[in-house]
Amino acid sequence: MTPSALIFLYVVSALAALSAVAVYSERRRKRFGPTRSEDHVFRCEKCSFVYTDDADVERSRCPHCGTLNREIEF
């Protein structure tokens, strides 16, 4: 084998190994990573406290001051 063929083979095998590690890492992250919460995020208009509540709630009462608040839209 020529030296250029050996270098090419080395670079290709290193890139293949790096790609395999990246694919494995991404699949593992998706499988064991946290799932997105279905809860809604609220911010109190009176005391500015940020909190979450169930997805089926349209308006929620602030746990600190008791004011009814609407969901934050991102």
pLDDT of residue 25: 93
Question: How many domains does one find in the chain?
Answer: 2
pLDDT of residue 67: 87
**This model's pTM is above 0.75:** no
7 and 28 belong to one structural domain: yes
Say how many C-beta atoms besides its own lie within 10 A of residue 31's C-beta.
Answer: 7
pLDDT of residue 17: 97
2 and 30 belong to one structural domain: yes
Angle at 24 between CA 23 and CA 28, to 5 degrees: 115
45 and 59 belong to one structural domain: yes
Ranges in the chain, pLDDT < 50: none
pLDDT of residue 71: 86
Domain that holds residue 29: 1-34
pLDDT of residue 32: 80
5 and 28 belong to one structural domain: yes
Q: Comparing C-alpha atoms, which of 41, 49, 40 is closest to residue 67?
A: 49
**CA end-to-end span of the chain, whole Å?**
60
